[in-house]
Structure 1
Amino acid sequence: MTINNTLKSKVAVVIVPLPAQGHLNQLLHLSHLIAAYGIPVHYAGSTSHNRQVKLRLHGWDTESLIKIQFHDFELPPYDSPPPSVDLISFPQHLLPLFEASMHLRQPVSDLLQQLSRKFDRVIVIHDLLMAYVVQDVKLIPNGETYNFNPTSAFLIFLYSWSSIPEKEKPFQLDSKDILEGIPPEDGCGTQDMTEFSLNQMKFLGFESGWIFNTSRIIEGRYVQLLERLSTTKSQTNHFALGPFNPVNIKSESRKNRHQCLNWLDKQEKDSVIYVSFGSTTSLTDDQITELANGLERCGEKFIWVLRRADPNDIFAEADKVKKPQLHADYEERVKDRGIIVRDWAPQLEILAHTSVGGFMSHCGWNSSMESISMGVPILAWPMHSDQPKNAFLISNVLRIGVMVRDWEHRDEIVKSNTIENAVKTLMASQEGKEIKMRAANVGEAVRGSVAEGGACSSERDAFISHISR
């Protein structure tokens, strides 16, 4: 990871994330990776969301943030409803925030103009859903954009392939490329969000490349298929630079170490299920009861992060979110083998802990990559958006997980016996042993690939060389 010092004055990178936790976090991880090459990195977002992503960052030294220059922009006032609580709750409350974020176009444009006078080249890496905001890079002669796809290459390929009429498909797929049973789009989103996304797509087409938070170890076949598709249209570079998150996590003796990590230190290897459904989902009270009963009855140890979805501004709107409740004596009943975390959990450190043997997850791509890179198998419980297809990739394609919620029955409460059986399958069956072994092998291979001389390390070097040419 060396780079000629003269490049520092030649190129600057501007990161433009979508203001949702999983998107913010992935691009802050990528910012650290790029900054480690000595390239100036500018992270452009709203004041509140820049504060949020810094506060919740795990896996990096706090001092590493000094290498990244944050540009805090104010958003105009917007209607901000509280997160909904529903069985299938697409986070519709985020849409007004996303629309308000389109007003970042002018301040981001001004920033690009300023940097274009100081550097030979300005590289803009933007979330797929922030294409409108960065469109003025076309006006800068030394500007270049790269589209960050915040989900799996598997999902992007499925979308791309299905959009091509049957008679116009440029090549044949192998029978294993698209397996039977892939969940349909039904229930994954709302019409409003689909329209917002399609509007963003109108501003794509002039990017110099696509960036994925994935590894060719995990999704090499689907990255290759996307590359083949791009050669049949216009040549676009594809960079699989993941995992963006650090893979060597040290948390032994930090002063402010989270209490759940101290509890994990006392547990046996691979004995604990970590349960967390991300920042955009709120379980109903009935579903919380079923999950509580399932975890109690399964007999396994667990850490359960029990919290509602984030409001649009986690600082100014915290009182909009009613905290979920458990039965009065539940925590007392499970205290010998389970703990409840109600604040923000240090997920990377939890997944990296040797006591953790499984992750019950919504299968957001940020969480999925963190789990895969740590070699932790997944109990897949998708909620919305890309998550059903990510869950299918994990459980059916990579075979490193167990499906808890069948997407076909997404309108039904997942019963405690279903939860109990899924946990037992992973933690106490021959099938579970094989899943755990596959997950551990994939995790080891991924971690090896980011080491000096590994495949991912080489691809990162190639990307840096490309933007610094």
Structure 2
Amino acid sequence: MASGGAVVPQSSSDAAVLMVPFPMQGHLNQLLHLSRLLAAAHLPVHFAATAAHCRQARRRFHGGATLSAADNIFFHHLPPLHTTQISTRPDPNSTTHFPSHLQPLFDAAAAALRRPVADLTRRLCAAHRRVAIICDSLMGSVVQDFLNFPNAEAYAFHSVSAYAVFFFLWESLGRPFRLDPEVLENLPSLDGCFTPEFLQFVASQHRFLGIFSGRIYNTCRILENKFLDLLSEIDCNKKQWPLGPFNPVDNFQESPAAGGDRSRHECLKWLDGHGRNSVILVCFGTSTTLPERQIWELAAGLENSRQKFVWVVRGVDGDGAGDDVDNGMMTEIELPLGFEERVKDRAVVVRDWAPQLAVLGHPAIGGFMSHCGWNSSMESISMGVPIAAWPMHSDQPRNAALIGKLGVGVAVRDWNRREEIVEAAAVSSAVRRLMASEEGDTMRIAAGELGAAVREAAAAEMKVELQSLVSYLTR
């Protein structure tokens, strides 16, 4: 696997793919997984991001052992992003949990990366008969110069559910056609999901959607066929490919024997000593900062639930404008005095990066308290793990609504009460409802059946969709 990107390597393929991700973990991870899938189909893939974000994507890659020097993926380091007027830390007491501290990073990416991406596109077009650019839908302005090259075309990748994409587009277009009442049932409002600045940024990028030749989604028809069909009604001239789940779905039920590997995370070794479906994973992603009082209520609720848990407690990601994406954000989060000592016999607190997919694939995990980012949602669904849904911002409330429609989740709180602190009693109730009730057992069965169906689709439907995409890219 090459890096640096100063030279475009020669390839036996007459077609190549250029990946242009959005610089956030949930976006980087998905396009690196898609890169792996396309590279396995014998297409050379060029992954273009800053050195810090390339490093981040590779370091946190689930199933990273499958990436090797033999893979046909080449990392190109775009110039570092220099942000100004950036708040060095998010405000946990803000009325919205959206990571507004990263807005200068988004603006800098849109302003600074267009020229280097155009230069890379030029070199790739000179070396290949056809170049397909797969770009995050939030990076449209960065790739727009592909129109200057007759052998280049571009495809939009949507990092969120088809459900969330459809309703965002349908509402932004003024609700151009009627929907059945059941489709609209329990649709959360977008109030509190985004800042005005980010919505303006989205609009500035989505105006380029018309120049793309198609759309790619990390989902599958068994989950979202209805909303993929509705998306076709909105954009009937565009091809679309549901290729998910992107994350590996085979051989992730790690056995105790794997504990012999020193690199295996300590929380996985701890899980080896616990019974099937006996532990809940608690993790809220890389972009959410909770107020201190909420952290303490969450801790008390987990303790009072008397259930076993793995709690990933970490700060949010930085902007990656420096040498590392952590960029000073990984500060110690203070938990209640004596909490870790009191729960040590039935819990593990993880303060670093946790291998979430491997944890979800462990047989001891029987539930997942999650912010419902689409990466986490797809990983949990594909592993057959039901979700205690606690959305924070962005697409997460609508992902949580979809999870409810699929029958594999319980709500920790009502989105309409998002500005209120979730008290310990509500946390404890949600955990016990999922982990220690007949309802939770029924939901685990449903999640297991849905996960098996998704994995079966990954072995069949996704292969057909992927071959369709590869055939179209190389036509």
On whether the aligned pair clears a TM of 0.5, the verdict is yes
Q: Distance in 1 between matches of 2:35 and 2:184?
A: 33
CA shift, 1:92, in A, is 0.5
Alignment match, 1:283: 290
1:410 aligns with 2:412: no
CA shift, 1:322, in A, is 2.9
SS at match of 1:25: helix
CA shift, 1:204, in A, is 2.1
Q: Distance in 2 between matches of 1:320 and 1:157?
A: 34
Q: 1:58 to 1:164 in 2, by over 3 A?
A: closer
Q: 1:177 to 1:107 in 2, by over 3 A?
A: same
Cα deviation, 1:246-296, whole Å, max 9, x if unaligned, reads 111444243300000000111100111000000001111111110111001
Cα deviation, 1:134-162, whole Å, max 9, x if unaligned, reads 00011110101110011010011112222
State which of 27, 34, 38 in structure 1 corresponds to 2:31.
27
Q: Distance in 1 between matches of 2:139 and 2:325?
A: 24
SS at match of 2:133: strand
Pick which of 430-439 and 119-128 moved more.
Answer: 430-439
Alignment match, 2:193: 188
Alignment match, 1:242: 244
1:292 aligns with 2:299: yes
CA contact (8 A) 2:247 2:379 kept: yes
Q: Distance in 1 between matches of 2:345 and 2:134?
A: 47
SS at match of 2:410: strand
Q: 1:316 to 1:432 in 2, by over 3 A?
A: closer
Q: Distance in 2 between matches of 1:404 and 1:222?
A: 25
CA contact (8 A) 1:59 1:249 kept: no
Q: Distance in 2 between matches of 1:77 and 1:230?
A: 36
Q: Distance in 2 between matches of 1:387 and 1:225?
A: 20
State which of 277, 282, 285 in structure 2 corresponds to 1:270.
277
State which of 364, 367, 383 in structure 1 corresponds to 2:373.
364
Q: Distance in 2 between matches of 1:374 and 1:456?
A: 16
SS at match of 1:350: helix
Alignment of 1:276-425 (within 5 A): 276-313=283-320, 315=324, 318-395=327-404, 397-425=405-433
Q: Distance in 2 between matches of 1:357 and 1:11?
A: 44
State which of 399, 420, 434 in structure 2 corresponds to 1:426.
434
Q: 1:210 to 1:220 in 2, by over 3 A?
A: same
Q: Distance in 1 between matches of 2:173 and 2:113?
A: 33
Alignment of 1:156-167 (within 5 A): 156-165=165-174
Alignment match, 1:153: 162
Q: Distance in 1 between matches of 2:473 and 2:328?
A: 44
Q: Distance in 1 between matches of 2:217 and 2:342?
A: 44
Q: Distance in 1 between matches of 2:25 and 2:406?
A: 26
Give the counterpart letter for 2:463 in structure 1.
S
Alignment match, 2:234: 229
State which of 131, 135, 140 in structure 1 corresponds to 2:144.
135
CA shift, 1:435, in A, is 1.5
Alignment match, 1:259: 266
Q: Distance in 2 between matches of 1:54 and 1:368?
A: 21
Q: Distance in 2 between matches of 1:382 and 1:299?
A: 24
SS at match of 2:105: helix
SS at match of 1:303: strand
Cα deviation, 1:388-441, whole Å, max 9, x if unaligned, reads 11111112x111100102111111110010011111111122221222111111
Alignment match, 1:461: 467
Cα deviation, 1:354-405, whole Å, max 9, x if unaligned, reads 110011000111111111111111110001111111111112x111100102
CA shift, 1:53, in A, is 1.0
CA contact (8 A) 1:277 1:362 kept: yes
Q: 1:159 to 1:239 in 2, by over 3 A?
A: same
CA contact (8 A) 1:75 1:101 kept: no
CA shift, 1:121, in A, is 0.5
Give the counterpart letter for 1:13 in structure 2.
V
Q: Distance in 1 between matches of 2:142 and 2:68?
A: 27
Give the counterpart letter for 1:95 in structure 2.
Q
Cα deviation, 1:45-67, whole Å, max 9, x if unaligned, reads 01111111111112132543643
SS at match of 1:13: strand
Q: Percent identity?
A: 46
CA shift, 1:192, in A, is 0.6
Q: Distance in 2 between matches of 1:246 and 1:317?
A: 26
Q: Distance in 2 between matches of 1:244 and 1:108?
A: 25
Q: CA RMSD in A?
A: 1.6
1:175 aligns with 2:176: no
SS at match of 1:176: helix
Cα deviation, 1:295-315, whole Å, max 9, x if unaligned, reads 011111000000111111272
Pick which of 36-45 and 99-108 moved more.
Answer: 99-108
Alignment match, 1:10: 14
CA contact (8 A) 2:318 2:328 kept: no
Q: Size of the alignment, in residue pairs?
A: 453
Q: Distance in 1 between matches of 2:44 and 2:287?
A: 31
Cα deviation, 1:164-204, whole Å, max 9, x if unaligned, reads 446x52xx53333221x321111111111111111111222
Give the counterpart letter for 1:371 in structure 2.
S
Alignment of 1:42-61 (within 5 A): 42-61=46-65
Pick which of 131-140 and 75-84 moved more.
Answer: 75-84
CA contact (8 A) 1:188 1:386 kept: yes
Q: Distance in 2 between matches of 1:288 and 1:165?
A: 39
Alignment of 1:116-127 (within 5 A): 116-127=125-136
Q: 1:76 to 1:279 in 2, by over 3 A?
A: closer
Give the counterpart letter for 1:177 in structure 2.
V
Alignment match, 2:5: none
CA shift, 1:456, in A, is 1.7
Q: Distance in 2 between matches of 1:315 and 1:211?
A: 29
Q: Distance in 2 between matches of 1:316 and 1:430?
A: 43
